[in-house]
A and B are shown apart, each in its own frame.
Chain A
Amino acid sequence: MIAEREVTRRNFLKIVGSVGAGFALGSFTAISGCSPKKAVASSGSRDFAPNGYLKIEPDGTITVTIFKSDMGQGVRTSMAMLVAEELDADWDAIKVVQAPASAAASVQGLGVGGSSSTQTTLTQMRQIGAAAKTMLVAAAAQGWGVDPSSCTTSNGIVMHEASGRSAPYKDLLSAANTMPVPNLTTVRLKDPKTFKIVGKPRNRIDNPLVVTGKAKYGIDVKIDGMKYAVIARPPTMGGSLKSFDAAEAKKIEGVTDVVKVASGVAVVATNTWAAIKGRNALKITWDPGPNPNLDTASILTQLKSMLTTQKPAVPAGGKSVEATLDLPYLAHATMEPMNAVADFRDGRCDIWVGTQNPGGAQQDVATLLGIAPKDVTVNVMLVGGGFGRRGTVDYAVEAADVSRAAKAPIKLLWTREDDMRNDFYRPMSHHSFFGAVDKDGNPAVWLQQAVLTEGNGMMKTEPNAQTIYALPAAQCLIHGGIKPPVRTGAWRSVINGNMVPANECFFDVLAHLGGKDPLELRLKLVGDPRLKTVLKMAADKVGWDKPLPPGSGRGIACFNGYLAAIAHVVELTVKGDEIHVDRVVAVIDVGMAVNPRGIEAQIQGCISDGLATALRAEITVDKGEIVQSSWDNYLWMTPEAMPKVEVYIIQTGDKVAGMGETGYPSVPPAVANAVFAATGKRVRKFPIKVSELV
Chain B
Amino acid sequence: MASYTIHVNGADHTIDALPDMPLLWVLRDFLDLTGTKYGCGIGACGACTVIMDGEATRSCQVQIKDVASAKVTTIEGLDVNGNHPVQQSWVTHDVPQCGYCQCGQIMSAVALLSKNPKPSDKEIDEAYAAQICRCGTYVRIREAVKHAGGHMGEK
Contacts and interface: CB of A to CB of B under 8 A. Distances in A.
B36 A638 contact: no
B124 interface: yes
Nearest to B81: A212
A213 B141 CA distance: 17
Contacts of A203: 91-92, 94
Contacts of A252: 18
Given A335-B37, A597-B94, A638 B137 contact: no
Interface in B123-155: 124-125, 128-142
A197 to B, nearest CB: 16
B8 interface: no
A213 B30 contact: no
A632 interface: yes
Nearest to B78: A212
B87 A212 contact: yes
Interface in A366-395: 382-387
A207 interface: yes
A588 B47 CA distance: 31
B62 interface: no
Contacts of A415: 41
Contacts of B136: 604-609, 612, 637
Which of A209, A212, A333 has the most C-beta atoms of chain B within 10 angstroms of its own C-beta?
A: A212
Contacts of A271: 17, 21, 25, 29-30
Interface string A623-662: 0000000111000111110100100000000000000000
Interface in A112-132: none
B103 A204 contact: no
Given A333-B134, A630-B42, A272 B29 contact: yes
A221 B62 CA distance: 23
Q: Say which size band chain B's interface belongs to.
A: 35 or more
Interface in A456-504: none
Contact of B82 (A74, A211, A416, A606): A211
B11 interface: no
A156 B27 CA distance: 42
A645 B42 contact: no
Contact of B76 (A209, A212, A333, A602): A212
A219 interface: yes
B54 interface: no
A321 interface: no
A91 interface: no
8 contacts: A207-B95, A211-B96, A212-B78, A335-B37, A335-B45, A336-B37, A384-B99, A604-B140
Interface of B: 1, 17-18, 20-22, 25, 28-30, 32-42, 44-45, 47, 74-76, 78-82, 87, 90-92, 94-103, 106, 124-125, 128-142
